[in-house]
């Protein structure tokens, strides 16, 4: 079996110089003032969060780097990054942080801020539309295993109206164009 190619070389953040004039020093306070940001300043860049993260090896910006970028005020880079959306929300980083930084929850806050500014990757918007229209993210297909399990050959349809009604009241509904 072919081995998966791993990215080589240092991450972008270690190559590109930081432009001081583009830093937004209020960003740190913005995150810090949110319910999850209380311990943000306690981060001492130990990288334990990155060591715990199951997918950090494919991220340009590792979890500890994203936290450092927030502390530095790199608002545009953080809110425009794919990484905050690729996070699996497995909480491994947050569980292991010796400084009790709420890493996963801070990434949630970043996603909310990015969404308010319309910086949501098209694939995420597409998933939201699927949820709004079909009440589920992925279509369950008929499968030979259903017969083995004495289930009906076709997957019963969902009643999506309650899901639509709920989503229309949420920011997700508004984001994908189905809300009030
Ligand atoms: S584990 Fe905690 S203290 Fe260490 S780099 Fe990550 S956020 Fe900072
Ligand atoms: S919650 Fe996200 S950032 Fe934290 S370990 Fe899991 S995938 Fe990585």
Which residue of 28, 39, 48 sits with most ligand 1 atoms within 8 Å of its CB, as the best mutation to test the pocket? 48
CA distance 90 to 33: 24
What's the gap in Å between 162 CA and the centre of ligand 1? Answer: 41
Beta-carbon contacts of 130 under 8 Å, excluding residues fewer than 6 positions away, are: 136, 137, 138
pLDDT single digits (tens) 49-94: 999 999 999 998 999 999 999 999 999 999 999 999 999 999 999 9
Beta-carbon contacts of 94 under 8 Å, excluding residues fewer than 6 positions away, are: 49, 101, 102, 103, 104, 105
Ligand closest in space to the Cα of 62: 2
Ligand 2 near 106 CB (within 6 A)? no
pLDDT at 90: 97
Give the other-Cβ count within 10 Å of 168's Cβ: 14
Q: Whose CA is nearest to atom 8 of ligand 2?
A: 53
Going from the N-terminus, what domains does the chain have, and what CATH number goes with each?
A: 22-116 (1.10.1060.10), 122-175 (no CATH)
What's the gap in Å between 115 CA and the centre of ligand 2? Answer: 19
Q: Who has greater pLDDT, 19 or 53?
A: 53
What's the gap in Å between 54 CA and the centre of ligand 2? Answer: 7
| Inter-residue contact 111 to 86 (CB < 8 Å) | no
CA distance 87 to 108: 9
pLDDT confidence bin for 13, thresholds 50/70/90: low
SS3 category, 160: coil
CA distance 169 to 158: 20
Positive or negative torsion for Cα 19, 107, 68, 42: positive
Report residue 86 as tokens: 């690729």
Positive or negative torsion for Cα 59, 60, 63, 66: negative
């Amino acid at each position: 079996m072919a081995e998966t190619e791993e990215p080589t070389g240092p991450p972008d953040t270690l190559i590109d110089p930081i432009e001081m004039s583009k830093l937004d020093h209020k960003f740190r306070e913005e995150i810090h003032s949110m319910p999850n940001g209380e311990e943000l300043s306690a981060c001492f860049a130990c990288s334990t969060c990155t060591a715990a993260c199951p997918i950090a090896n494919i991220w340009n910006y590792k979890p500890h780097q994203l936290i450092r970028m927030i502390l530095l005020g790199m608002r545009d880079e953080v809110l425009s990054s794919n990484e905050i959306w690729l996070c699996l929300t497995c909480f491994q980083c947050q569980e292991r942080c010796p400084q009790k930084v709420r890493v996963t929850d801070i990434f949630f806050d970043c996603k909310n801020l990015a969404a308010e500014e319309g910086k949501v990757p098209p694939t995420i918007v597409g998933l939201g539309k699927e949820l709004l229209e079909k009440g589920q993210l992925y279509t369950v297909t008929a499968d030979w295993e259903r017969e083995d399990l004495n289930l009906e050959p076709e997957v019963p349809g969902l009643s999506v109206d309650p899901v639509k009604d709920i989503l229309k009241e949420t920011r997700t509904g508004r984001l994908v164009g189905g809300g009030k």
